[in-house]
Amino acid sequence: NAGVTQTPKFQVLKTGQSMTLQCAQDMNHEYMSWYRQDPGMGLRLIHYSVGAGITDQGEVPNGYNVSRSTTEDFPLRLLSAAPSQTSVYFCASSYLGRGDKDTQYFGPGTRLTVL
């Protein structure tokens, strides 16, 4: 079991460029989510998905798109990168609605810098 994997680990973009952050899990989890972590702000939810074909917005969705075509993958797309999107991005996954199985498992993160 690889758990939750994310690529790339580091990325530098110029303002206006677009890119996709990849996230995959091999635990057959229904729920997947993307967070960004900024100093002093903790974790803020960007988008989440409760299953293939179903996505919804979190607290800070502007500037990001997601899709969920398979159970395993949940990519995050930055449409036109801005310096305010410089952050560390974490993908997480869990089972759904089973009490203690709601434990979220996190990937190692992608450190993104937008110049």
Using CB under 8 A, list all residues that contact other proteins.
4, 30-31, 33, 40-43, 45, 48, 50, 58, 90, 92, 94, 96-97, 99-100, 102-109
Q: By C-beta, is 14 or 100 nearer to other proteins?
A: 100
Phi-psi region of 67 (alpha: psi -120 to 50; beta: other; left: phi over 0): beta
Minimum distance of other proteins from residue 92's CB (angstroms) = 8
59/82 Cα distance (integer angstroms):
18
CA 27, distance to chain mean position in Å, is 16
Minimum distance of other proteins from residue 10's CB (angstroms) = 11
Q: By C-beta, is 2 or 14 nearer to other proteins?
A: 2
DSSP lists the bridge partners of residue 66 as 76
Cα–Cα–Cα angle for 98, 66, 47, nearest 5°? Answer: 50
Nearest to 92 by CA among 53, 41, 58: 58
Minimum distance of other proteins from residue 29's CB (angstroms) = 9
Q: By C-beta, is 85 or 110 nearer to other proteins?
A: 110
Q: By C-beta, is 31 or 64 nearer to other proteins?
A: 31
